[in-house]
């Protein structure tokens, strides 16, 4: 156990340490985080880069009373250790341990459960206004601090927040953690702007430019008054012509984000300024470990790894859907010169890091701006190209308006490829892809499809390449592809047609299961159990959530065969709902159609396997559901035979 860190039960214990002791604490925090992430995986490089900054913030502010809001919440591990959660670190990203993102259920020091970029400034503005409005005379007004990182400042929402922050007439601090990185290498003109801004390391260097810079800032007597109140470091660190000055913020820095004494001095000076301030801090992503500093993209959120001397070995875990997607895209781009690949700051997470260097003229990482990326894809499609936008399911939600206005309304064939659909495991509720079907199937001419393994992923992407009648959306999970596909020969995708992957023994099976996406494999395991128990089950790979295979559904319903739909998506508006709606519109009896999917609740961090079991979407639960359907049906038939009017209970 570490010497200083083990005694930190909260920020009050941190404040008992001398400033000279804080570098040792920083090293202990780094070691603790690196040791744990090497065992369980998790966000490493972004947390290593904010250790000193997190210490300084908690040393100066009182976040039991003050407000600390995180943007890109994956840089919160040091904050959690400083707020008494060392005991939860050993079970990082599991239900019993520490969440990988800020989590209010875990601690009152976490104000929002947050894992999307660009949100902290806006929510902080709301809290700043709310606190001011409800502030009582004689009480201390809470300070408000937003910690921004990994280039999320370029996100459109962040800019909207800054635009409103500049109108505040009270203390408000935005800390810009500029580490020269996004999740991958930062993209866009703003990244180049930050690269050109150097760090001022010493007070002597500050002093050389102090009076000249402060005197040239706009604002007249107000800023002159601030100058008279400021200390030496503050005066000299004010940045003239910093771009965010135009938003009405006093911009300070950049300063060294790993120099604890300077950070503490600067934060002490800024803390009580009664106007919005932006503190620009330069840090090194992955700080403290050469392998993480040298390859911050790989070690942004690695799987478990082992360090052997100068070599670091990341543990393998089978072939992922992400890797399969990358290879399938390379094949498409080699065969079709009109295919254009796009991602929004997630080249590694979506597999496009393999595509970008091979096709530099026909691929692009836009940075953290999903709305822009979707609109850009609409523009590409308008010119006749075939854009494929690789994006996490949870991040595709950030571009729904663009799908509506620029894609669907223009009936443009943009292809959206959604990784991390369904349950995502350790990232938890902030990243589950639970609403992509319900979000996108409302759009006219849109097609929604899902593969169950690597061959169907390839076939689905090939279908999308040729589909030009509207937008198309494919979803696949953060999981490995099956080592052995269910079918030796995968038939091509036909619009709105399901595929029989496991035939029943008779023309009238006991139940027909329609699995959507990888739930086909969970269902197949359940069928193995059911067959051994004497049941006769037909299993279909549904393939399409829009349009559903209504001909197949009609055949099953007309034969009085119970139908069970299974999906790794919310029941509300999902694949099962689409089947029910299509059956109702076709005038079919829907009482024999049953659904399984995500319940109406948030499911927190754990393994994907445990999450499926928790909500009853694992193979054992599917088998129980089938038996329940058949037991209810048998009871219903008995009631009919004896002349009792059946109730709807159990259906």
Active-site residue, from 398, 441, 502, 595 = 398
CB 468 within 8 A of CB 429: no
Active-site residue, from 85, 93, 282, 285 = 285
Contacts of 310 (CB under 8 A, 6+ apart): 290
Active-site residue, from 370, 406, 454, 522 = 370
Active-site residue, 633 included = no
Which spans in 230-320 are helix H?
232-237, 260-270, 290-294
Contacts of 269 (CB under 8 A, 6+ apart): 230, 231, 233, 234
Which spans in 143-271 are helix H?
156-165, 189-196, 203-208, 210-216, 221-229, 232-237, 260-270
Contacts of 228 (CB under 8 A, 6+ apart): none
3-state SS, residue 505: coil
Active-site residue, 303 included = no
Active-site residue, 398 included = yes
CB 262 within 8 A of CB 53: no
**Of 490, 498, 473, 492, the residue nearest 549 (C-alpha):** 498
Strand spans (E) along 338-492: 339-343, 363-365, 386-392, 415-419, 447-449, 472-475
Enclosing H/E stretch for 627:
helix 619-641
Q: Classify the C-alpha dihedral 530-535-540-546 as positive or negative.
A: negative
What distance lies between CA 408 and its chain's CA centroid? 24
Q: Classify the C-alpha dihedral 307-309-310-313 as positive or negative.
A: negative
Compute the distance between CA of residue 248 and CA of residue 168 in angstroms, rounded to an integer.
Answer: 9
Compute the distance between CA of residue 636 and CA of residue 651 in angstroms, rounded to an integer.
Answer: 9
**Of 93, 86, 36, 80, the residue nearest 430 (C-alpha):** 93
Q: 396-400, long-range: CB within 8 Å, 24+ apart, which pairs? A: 396/370, 396/433, 396/436, 396/439, 396/440, 397/435, 397/436, 397/439, 398/116, 398/370, 398/371, 399/370, 399/371, 399/373, 399/374, 399/375, 400/439, 400/440
Q: Which residues are catalytic?
A: 285, 370, 398
């Amino acid at each position: 156990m570490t010497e200083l860190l083990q005694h930190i039960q909260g920020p009050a214990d941190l404040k008992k340490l001398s400033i000279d002791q804080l570098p040792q604490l920083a090293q202990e925090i780094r070691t603790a985080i690196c040791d744990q992430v090497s065992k369980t995986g998790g966000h490493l490089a972004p947390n290593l880069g904010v250790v000193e900054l997190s210490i300084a913030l908690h040393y100066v502010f009182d976040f039991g009373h003050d407000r600390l809001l995180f943007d890109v919440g994956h840089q919160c591990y040091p904050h959690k250790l400083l707020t008494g959660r060392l005991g939860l670190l050993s079970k990082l990203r599991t239900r019993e341990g520490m969440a990988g993102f800020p989590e209010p259920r875990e601690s009152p020091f976490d104000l929002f459960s947050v894992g999307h970029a660009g949100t902290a400034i806006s929510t902080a503005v709301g809290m700043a206004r709310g606190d001011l409005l409800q502030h009582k005379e004689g009480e201390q007004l809470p300070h408000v601090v937003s910690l921004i990182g990994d280039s999320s400042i370029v996100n459109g929402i962040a800019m909207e927040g800054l635009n409103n922050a500049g109108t505040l007439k009270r203390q408000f601090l935005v800390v810009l953690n500029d580490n020269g990185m996004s999740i991958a290498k930062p993209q866009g003109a703003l990244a180049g702007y930050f690269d050109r801004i150097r760090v001022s390391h010493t007070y002597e260097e500050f002093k050389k430019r102090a009076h000249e810079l402060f005197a040239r800032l706009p604002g007249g007597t107000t800023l002159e008054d601030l100058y008279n109140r400021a200390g030496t470091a503050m005066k000299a660190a004010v940045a003239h012509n910093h771009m965010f000055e135009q938003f009405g913020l006093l911009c300070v820095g950049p300063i060294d984000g790993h120099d604890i004494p300077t950070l503490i001095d600067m934060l002490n000076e800024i803390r009580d300024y009664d106007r919005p301030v932006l503190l620009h801090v330069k840090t090194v992503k992955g700080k403290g470990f050469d392998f993480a500093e040298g390859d911050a993209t790989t070690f942004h959120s690695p799987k478990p790894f082992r360090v052997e001397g100068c070599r670091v070995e990341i543990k393998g875990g089978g072939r992922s859907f992400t890797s399969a997607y990358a290879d399938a895209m390379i094949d498409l781009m080699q065969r079709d010169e009109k295919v254009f690949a796009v991602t929004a700051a997630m080249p590694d997470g979506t597999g496009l890091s393999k595509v970008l260097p091979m096709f530099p003229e026909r691929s692009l990482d836009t940075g953290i701006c999903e709305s822009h990326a979707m609109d850009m894809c609409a523009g590409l499609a308008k010119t006749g190209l075939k854009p494929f936008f690789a994006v996490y399911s949870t991040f595709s939600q950030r571009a729904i308006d663009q799908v509506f206005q620029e894609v669907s309304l223009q009936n443009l064939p943009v292809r959206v490829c959604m990784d991390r659909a369904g349950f995502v495991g350790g990232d938890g509720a902030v990243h589950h892809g639970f609403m992509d079907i319900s979000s996108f199937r409302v759009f006219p001419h849109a097609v929604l499809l899902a593969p169950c393994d690597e061959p169907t992923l390839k076939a689905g992407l090939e279908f999308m390449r040729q589909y030009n009648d509207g937008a198309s959306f494919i979803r696949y999970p953060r999981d490995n592809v099956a080592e052995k596909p269910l079918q030796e020969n995968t038939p091509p995708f036909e619009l709105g047609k399901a595929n029989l992957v496991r035939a029943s023994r008779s023309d009238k099976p006991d139940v027909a299961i329609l699995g959507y996406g990888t739930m086909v494999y969970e269902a197949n395991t359940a069928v193995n159990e059911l067959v051994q128990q004497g049941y006769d089950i037909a299993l279909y790979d549904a393939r399409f959530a829009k349009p559903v295979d209504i001909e197949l559904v009609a055949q099953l319903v007309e034969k009085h065969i119970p139908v069970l739909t299974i999906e790794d998506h919310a029941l509300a508006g999902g694949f099962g709902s689409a089947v029910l709606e299509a059956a109702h519109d076709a005038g079919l009896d829907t009482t024999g159609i049953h659904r399984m999917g995500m319940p109406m609740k948030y499911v927190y961090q754990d393994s994907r396997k445990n999450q499926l079991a928790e909500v009853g979407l694992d193979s054992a639960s599917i088998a129980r559901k089938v038996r329940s359907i058949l037991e209810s049906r048998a009871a219903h038939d008995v009631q009919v035979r004896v002349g009792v009017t059946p109730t709807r209970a159990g259906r």
